[in-house]
Copies of this chain bind each other. A is one copy, B any other.
Amino acid sequence: MLYLIGLGLGDAKDITVRGLEVVRRCSRVYLEAYTSVLAVGKEALEEFYGRKLILADREEVEQEADDILKDADVSEVAFLVVGDPFGATTHSDLILRAAKLGIPYRVIHNASIMNAVGCCGLQLYNFGETVSIVFWTDSWRPESFFDKMEKNRQNGMHTLCLLDIKVKEQSLENLIKGRKIYEPPRYMSVNQAAQQLLEIVQNRRGRGEEPGLGPLAELRVCAGFLHPEPFPV
């Protein structure tokens, strides 16, 4: 049995009681560590769960999924995901592989930013398409997320903007040369996201366009949610 277990958004105690029971009895427990991060590290989780965790980075999940699924037909394997396992689609691939191999799976849901964002006071029913604001490079400066935000606004919908995370990424040079040297992890700040949005507004104004989001972007991009702060209980 493969278990995909959501860890929620705060720290070790945000796992569900059901999830914790499963983690404690599985033969192998993987921690997915590239689409999101908790406020605490792997060691704190290991201490609270009472289990060693195997860190699964993007490379492993995408290229060595068979290792993760090994013997999962006869034993129990857990794959832990920050937030909810279906917050991102990255994990559907693992499920599809499991299904193909005849390995049964179960999902243990938890809060993700996709629903916890309701805590900001905006009505959750009225969010439109979710966008990812990606790190720009010198040669790659996509504006598609801005277009989606504009469309949501035209439809009277809010937009949840997810900010880019770069963990264990190779530089273009290292990628081309096949060198497994990784850049330090980067997490986009609200400031950086705001800066990119404002630059898009400026670009469009330079072309004589006035984006509907222009005034909004200037006034409100200062609003951003940090990772929900866990609190001691």
Chain A residues engaging chain B, CB cutoff 8 angstroms: 6, 8-10, 12-18, 20-22, 84-87, 89, 92, 106-107, 109-112, 114-116, 118-119, 121, 123-126, 128-131, 151, 155, 157, 228, 230-231, 233
Contacts and interface: CB of A to CB of B under 8 A. Distances in A.
Contacts of A12: 17
Nearest to A108: B14
A115 B109 contact: yes
A228 B14 contact: no
B18 A17 contact: no
B114 A115 contact: yes
Given A14-B16, A17-B14, A21-B13, A119 B106 contact: no
Contact of A16 (B17, B125, B126): B17
A22 B13 CA distance: 11
Given A87-B124, A111-B112, 14 more contacts: A8-B110, A10-B18, A13-B17, A13-B21, A15-B17, A21-B233, A84-B116, A86-B118, A87-B115, A87-B118, A109-B111, A109-B115, A111-B111, A112-B115
Q: Please indicate which of the listed interface residues A87, A107, A125, A128 has the most CB atoms of chain B within 10 Å of its own CB.
A: A125
A129 B109 contact: no
A160 to B, nearest CB: 9
A106 B231 contact: yes
A189 to B, nearest CB: 21
Contacts of A17: 12-17, 20
Contacts of A16: 8, 13-17, 110
Nearest to A123: B89
B114 A124 contact: yes
A14 B8 CA distance: 12
B92 A121 contact: yes
